[in-house]
Amino acid sequence: MTKKIAQIAGLTIEWLGHSTVSISDKKLIYIDPFSEVLKGDELKADFVISTHGHRDHFDVNAINKLSKDSTYVIIKSGCDTSNLLSTFIKELEVNEALTVSEIDIKGVHAYNIRRFKSPDTPFHPKGFGLGVVVTVGGVKLYYAGDTDFITPMERLRDEKIDVAFLPIGGKYTMDVEEVVEAVLAIEPRIVIPVHYNHIKGTEADAFEFREKVEKRSEARVIIL
């Protein structure tokens, strides 16, 4: 199977499937690794970031498989760390930031306002998860996590995001139409769609998404 890789501003970016991405230059970062999309030949991580406690984003087996002795595991506060093998675990909360080995990581809001598992109970309530803004080698990347299009995203325009990883699958996150609005609000330079076509109910047409985004904005969409 051909790997889904892009070279962007000196970084190698790979979408492994679902919401799992890797970002590398001198360091290798995985965000939300999920066992169901790992092939088993992945290189060990310098950093693993987990945005919230759902099994497809906080997968202890996947995190442990990708970890080596020196791997930093950065997780949303509240996740159960008892079975993680790494000795370098840092919790991150919304509006908190940390810098490790010249990698800057900041937590930002991610939550549902339109998608509910029962009345008044969103799949991702405010405070349960987060998105992250990660700066690597001067390149600023925004990984939205599981979220609807929410007002706090408008503040990300000031961040001047180079690459935005945005979920397009609907059901649990934004759908294509909402992500187009998010792109207009955030104004990233490049958009990579994630969180679609793996879990039932998250089917989406990435090419339709690209057409709509590039028709209405200056952003370029890269489909991996």
CA angle 49, 75, 159 (to 5 degrees): 60
Residues 202, 196: Cα–Cα separation, whole Å: 5
Query: CA dihedral defined by 165, 19, 174, 220, rounded to 10 degrees?
Result: 30
Mean pLDDT of the residues in the chain? 95
Among the ranges given (3-7, 34-38, 122-126), the one the predictor scored with the smallest mean pLDDT:
3-7
pLDDT, position 114? 94
Contact in structure between 27 and 46 (CB atoms under 8 Å)? yes
Residues 123, 116: Cα–Cα separation, whole Å: 5
Residue-wise pLDDT tens digits, 59-113: 999 999 999 999 999 999 999 999 999 989 999 999 999 999 889 999 999 999 9
pLDDT, position 111? 98
Domains and CATH numbers, the chain: 5-221 (3.60.15.10)
Tell whether the model's pLDDT for residue 6 goes beyond 80: yes
What average pLDDT does range 3-26 have in this prediction? 93
- Give pTM, 2 decimals: 0.96
Residue-wise pLDDT tens digits, 169-216: 999 999 999 999 999 999 999 999 999 999 999 999 999 999 999 999
Tell whether the model's pLDDT for residue 1 goes beyond 70: no
Residues 86, 183: Cα–Cα separation, whole Å: 35
Q: Under 8 Å CB-to-CB from 178, ≥6 apart: which residues?
A: 148, 149
Residues 103, 98: Cα–Cα separation, whole Å: 8
Residue-wise pLDDT tens digits, 132-148: 999 999 999 999 999 99
At 3, the pLDDT band (50, 70, 90 cuts) reads low
Tell whether the model's pLDDT for residue 160 goes beyond 50: yes
